[in-house]
């Protein structure tokens, strides 16, 4: 735990946040029944509310505020019960953010990229997990980020960090303008791949197992023996 606390000063919001592609948002123009359904289906207690664009977050809707309004039988206007959002740059160190959370008495912040756009959300839980390890709640998917499915093959969540790939699989992936497996695979293809499409490097074959629209959700990684790697990488280069 001491190591986790010391790690906070070296970790940025971007490294622990939930990226915008995986964040549940509510539009301020959504009808009430749709908003209620989103709250129930997501299982989240706090959801960011945007107006016109996700890059324009105007508030945070707390499930308990909606429940209180329903119990009191007052007419609900989402704009009147959303709370003011707390914005932070994605480069902010999370030890500093933790102090801000305590001072402001809030548990969620909207992370902004260098252009002022919404890059994701970060919660108190995300920071606590950096100290004590991952916290599992009743709405978390308990499956591991990388599951071994064969002697030299793994099925991985595309959001897994490249450092974790190195740690769990023993596969060193080159750094670039990406932190996740999805970003690495996109970079390999140089375009948007399709489900069940594979691409090889000298070390492994990467197969896109599942996609949602243009997002990669899961990837199968098959580590290659040195001789296999040279042959597969050559074939992949010929195809590209």
Q: Is a pLDDT exceeding 70 seen at residue 102? A: yes
- Given this model, what pLDDT does residue 138 score? 44
- Given this model, what pLDDT does residue 88 score? 93
| Nearest in space to 108 (alpha carbons), one of 60, 50, 54 | 60
- Given this model, what pLDDT does residue 5 score? 46
- Given this model, what pLDDT does residue 69 score? 85
pLDDT tens digits, residue range 147-179?
A: 999 999 999 998 888 888 888 888 988 866 567
- Given this model, what pLDDT does residue 215 score? 76
| Nearest in space to 46 (alpha carbons), one of 90, 110, 140, 95 | 110
Tokens read off for 207: 């197969």
- Given this model, what pLDDT does residue 51 score? 94
The mean pLDDT value for 121-134 works out to 72
- Given this model, what pLDDT does residue 193 score? 87
Percentages helix, strand, coil for the chain (3-state, rounded to 5) are 40, 30, 30
Alpha helix locations (H) across 22-73? Answer: 32-42, 63-71
Helix (H) or strand (E) run with residue 154 in it: strand 153-157
Spell out a b/e string for 101-135, using b for 16 or more CB atoms within 10 Å of the CB, else e. beeeebbbbbbbeeeeebbbbbbeebbeebbeeee
- Distance between CA 182 and CA 169 in Å, rounded? 16
Place of tokens 């305590």: 102
Whole-structure pTM value = 0.57
Percent of the chain having pLDDT more than 90?
37
Mean pLDDT, the chain, as a whole number?
A: 82
The mean pLDDT value for 44-64 works out to 93
The domains found in the chain, sorted by start residue, are 2-132 (3.10.580.10), 146-239 (3.30.465.10)
pLDDT tens digits, residue range 9-42?
A: 778 899 889 999 889 999 999 998 899 999 888 8
Tokens read off for 232: 């597969």
Q: Is a pLDDT exceeding 70 seen at residue 140? A: no
- Distance between CA 146 and CA 156 in Å, rounded? 4
Q: Which residues face 51 on adjacent strands?
A: 53
CA 167 distance to own-chain centroid: 19
């Amino acid at each position: 735990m001491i190591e986790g606390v010391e790690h906070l000063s070296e970790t940025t919001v971007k490294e622990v946040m939930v990226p915008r592609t995986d964040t549940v948002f509510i539009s301020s123009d959504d009808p009430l029944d749709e908003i209620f359904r989103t709250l129930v289906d997501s299982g989240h207690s706090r959801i960011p509310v945007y107006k016109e664009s996700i890059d324009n977050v105007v508030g945070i809707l707390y499930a308990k505020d909606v429940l209180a309004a329903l119990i009191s039988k007052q007419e609900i206007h989402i704009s009147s019960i959303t709370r003011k959002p707390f914005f932070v740059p994605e480069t902010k160190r999370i030890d500093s953010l933790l102090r801000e959370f305590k001072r402001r008495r809030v548990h969620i912040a909207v992370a902004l990229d260098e252009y002022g756009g919404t890059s994701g959300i970060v919660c108190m839980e995300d920071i606590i997990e950096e100290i004590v390890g991952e916290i599992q709640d009743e709405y978390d998917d308990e499956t591991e980020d990388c599951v071994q499915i064969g002697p030299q093959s793994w099925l991985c969540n595309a959001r897994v960090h490249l450092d974790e790939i190195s740690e769990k699989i023993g596969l060193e992936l080159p750094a670039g303008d990406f932190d996740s497996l999805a970003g690495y695979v996109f970079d390999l293809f140089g375009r948007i791949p399709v489900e069940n499409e594979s691409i090889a490097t000298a070390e492994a074959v990467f197969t896109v197992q599942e996609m949602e629209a243009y997002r990669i959700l899961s990837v199968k990684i098959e580590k290659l023996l040195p001789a296999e790697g040279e042959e597969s990488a050559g074939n992949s280069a010929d195809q590209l």
